[in-house]
Chain A
Amino acid sequence: MRTYSLVVNEVQHQVQASPEMPLLWALRDLLHLTGTKYGCGMGVCGACTVHEDGIAVRSCQIPLSATPGKRYTTIEGLSVDGSHPCQRAWLEEDVSQCGYCQAGMIMEAATLIRRKPNLSDAEIDAGLADHVCRCGTFQRVRRAIRRAAREASKA
């Protein structure tokens, strides 16, 4: 067991845990930030996607030993009031069905549109291709990302 100083959503937390504990479980079970979801624990489904220094990563694949010096953002901290362009676009396009995978997709999309606002359709598809959504919301995810990218480039 070691003590880690985790910076999540601009708040510094002290957690005591083993070095190999994935960030996912520290977020969910130690910090009670349950917006980040467990889907597979193998980096295959994308449900646990968070930002590490602003870049989308899979929190189930990041051991606590790799977290020092990094700043993490979860869906709860993407905006203070749900006003991130992706969150707004997701509501406008009524994307969510069961909603369980959506936080992961939104975090991925947020990185995607920040890196390149004028994404092609193929780039959007490729950018989200590693996310599983069993409800099959892809058509609306595409629309939402296009909308969010437009909004973000206006702002």
Chain B
Amino acid sequence: MSSTRRAFLRTSTLAATGLIIGVDLSEGATDKRASAFEPNAYISITPDNIVRLWMTRSEMGQGVRTTLSMMLAEELEANWSKIRLEQATPGGRFQGIRLRTSGSGSTVSTYNVLRKAGATAREMLIAAAAEKWHVQPSRCRAAEGTVVHIATGRKFNYGQLATAASHQKVPANPTLKNPKDFRVIGTRMRRVDGRAIVTGRAVYGLDARVPGMLFAVMERCPCLGGKVASFDATQALAMPGVRHVVPITSGIATGVAVVADHTWAAMKGREALRVEWDLGPNQSFDSDDFLQREIDAARSHDGYYVRNDGDALKAFSGAAKTMDAVYVTPFQAHAPLETMNCIADVRKDSCEIWVPTQCPEEARTEAAKMLGLPPEFVKLHVTLIGGAFGRRLFADYVHEAVELSRAVAKPVQLMWTRTDDMRFGYFHPCAVEHIAGGLDTGGKPVAWLQTSVDSNLSTSPLPTEEERKNPRFYFEQEMPWGSFDNPYNFPNLKADFIPVNSPVPTGPWRAVFYPSRVFARESFLDEMAYAAGRDPLEFRLGLLQPGDILKVGNQRIDRSRLIRVLQVAAEKSGWKSPFHPSSDRRWGRGIACNVYDEDCYIAQVAEVSVGRESRDVRVHRMVCAVDCGLVVSPLGLEGQAESGIIWGLSSTLSGKIDFKKGCAVQSSFADFEVVRMDEAPAIETHIVASDFPPGGFGETAVPPVAPAVVNAIFAATGRRIRRLPVNPSS
């Protein structure tokens, strides 16, 4: 991180042409930037032939800096080995441009925008070269960071054309390349940040350093919603290196921060703090009791309208065979390996922030509001992120750092310890699903009734009184995912949703609302298939006939694409092939599928074995088939499939967060167990080629994992697991 301070106010002007007239905006920028060619916010080309691409999403492991670069470089015809990446900061040239990274939406939302940005620059560079050579632009072409005059082979590199290109007319509708001519998109590009990572030079939030900065940790009230009654800082302040002790109230939990010369001193000072807590209104909250309340609610079937096709109640009561089941998923932590952290440097009339965040605009706006400053006086730098998974869509830890820096009038890095990070956060809500189904005498499914219960998200609070009057409130919000958009062709399908308040802060977790609903839906389908005496794959394929389009709300679900991925997953996994079992283990395969946000189709087959003891479950192999339209970065997509599957396995097999007496119980990776290398299955990802526009894939692989695994356990043992995790450690 550069030690020089940048001016806050930028004088960049957006000319009527849309050209940003070169103004220094980046770190380490030089006067050369004054003559930079910047046809839009995403691209800067300087006369020294440096091509800078501006990254408008946060890199948190999903490979977005690689994907965005590929889309820009494709149309720009940049020399891939020479590009430099800059991270966008809110405001200035990015005013009005989304920087938030969420919902597996980065590729979907930027594909056309970035291609157009690259094509605009390319056409202007070609026009500049053509003008210099006095030829028609059509006689020139761009390749590898140069413009070539085709007839003579004369060349200019982009740097040589930068100044002249700035004076060209900005094309309103630049010609985008035909996908068959792509030479970057769709190729197996490796991660642009790979070398920095393996040499230890990559700068995450915790690695950012600012001159004169101090280091802080904070003791928070362990009980949900409690607060500081009183504290004694005497012993903490006596610890070597401790400078300040400051009460903090702006974060997710109130507490007392200790500021010191380095992190260790701050931690020792924290140990020496004496704090009396007012444990507040939730000190008897118990997640097991809450779960029971959710189960009772689910059985009431008295929820908000989500979907109602045909007459499910009548069909159910008239069915030859009926069945029902309750599925339970616990609270989950995000637990990214880099804990929450933020550096804030609050000065008299300004503030500068360095933070690993998915929501830079909100973080900046909220910091400005806290300080009573206009947002343009707050400069926010997005660092690389050591995992986010939805947790960093909240700026609570930015609030804490800002409050702290304001109090001590110095730049401060506030770091959450692992235990802080495990116990405080916006957890994945625990959820309960009740599903009832009916089959006719021939074993044909005729009714499906699904009631979903969860504690809602802190980002989408319980409906207001006004909203409650609208019975279709959740339908209009297309909620809950996985139930609302049930892709199967049931003639009679009813789905409803019951939000239940809990004091636990909740938020988006990888795949947001899908995991619990898809776990229940795909498990119950399996149960119905067995009840009907049908193969679970054939049963699903039958329910997706005739492979038509399902329209529900604004979603358009193409059942033929789901059929295709199911078939591919089955074929590649050897769905019906015999096992070569070892003598003492029982083997089985399970299948599950899902449609993520209408544009991403996925099916998975899990291959498991179970030992003599039912807890002894091993997942050996996961086969994954995906159709998410055009794939920009196949290597990235395969990585996200592997990543999503391991994520899903961790929560399926052992991960959970309990609350007792209002406090989170788990405190580290010792008791919040995640899948490690010795438990990681072999993963095969098969991409089903498709010409549809790209879908998002950061979260897509997560939801089918749990049902595929429990279905496989059932196939192996006849034991049906309806409550996750499979093997809770406590």
Q: Chain A interface (Cβ within 8 Å of chain B)?
A: 1, 17-18, 21-22, 25, 28-30, 32-42, 44-45, 47, 74-76, 78, 82, 86-87, 90-91, 94, 96-103, 106, 124-126, 128-142
Contact = CB atoms under 8 A, between A and B. Distances in A.
B275 to A, nearest CB: 21
Contacts of B207: 28, 34
Given A29-B215, A34-B206, A134-B335, A99 B670 contact: no
Interface string B608-636: 00000000000000000000000000010
A139 B353 CA distance: 36
A30 B399 CA distance: 27
A13 to B, nearest CB: 15
B642 A102 contact: no
Contact of A103 (B200, B635, B645): B200
B639 interface: yes
Contact of A97 (B61, B200, B263, B415): B61
Interface residues of B, number: 60
Given A38-B263, A98-B337, A136-B646, 6 more contacts: A18-B268, A36-B200, A75-B200, A102-B197, A102-B198, A103-B198
A126 B199 contact: no
B190 interface: yes
A100 B389 CA distance: 14
A133 B678 contact: no
**A30, A34, A44: which has the most chain B beta carbons within 10 Å?**
A34
B337 A22 contact: no
A11 B680 CA distance: 38
Nearest to B642: A139
A76 B203 CA distance: 13
B83 interface: no
A98 B668 contact: no
Contacts of A38: 206, 263, 339, 415
B223 interface: no
B200 A44 contact: no
B647 interface: yes
B384 interface: yes
Contacts of B692: none
B190 A134 contact: no
A98 B200 contact: no
A32 B209 contact: yes
B682 A139 contact: yes
Interface in B672-698: 674-678, 680, 682-683
A41 B418 contact: yes
B250 interface: no
B198 A96 contact: yes
B61 to A, nearest CB: 3
A-side interface mostly: loop
A21 B635 CA distance: 41
B676 A131 contact: yes
Interface in B178-206: 190-191, 193-195, 197-204, 206
A37 B264 contact: no
A11 to B, nearest CB: 15
Nearest to B510: A134
Interface in B643-685: 643-647, 668-670, 674-678, 680, 682-683
Contact of B677 (A29, A106, A128, A135): A128
Contact of A30 (B262, B418, B668): B262
B386 A98 contact: yes
5 closest Cβ pairs, A-B complex: A35-B200, A136-B646, A100-B386, A98-B61, A75-B200
A110 to B, nearest CB: 11
Contacts of B415: 38
A41 B197 CA distance: 21
**B240, B387, B644: which has the most chain A beta carbons within 10 Å?**
B387
Contact of B193 (A35, A99, A134): A99
A22 B267 CA distance: 12
13 contacts: A39-B418, A44-B668, A76-B200, A87-B198, A97-B61, A98-B60, A98-B388, A102-B198, A106-B198, A134-B335, A135-B387, A136-B646, A136-B647
B646 A40 contact: no
B385 interface: yes
B647 A125 contact: no
A149 to B, nearest CB: 15
Interface string B249-273: 0000000000000111000100000
Contact of B669 (A1, A34, A40, A141): A40
A45 to B, nearest CB: 5
Nearest to B670: A44
Nearest to B213: A29
A99 B678 contact: no
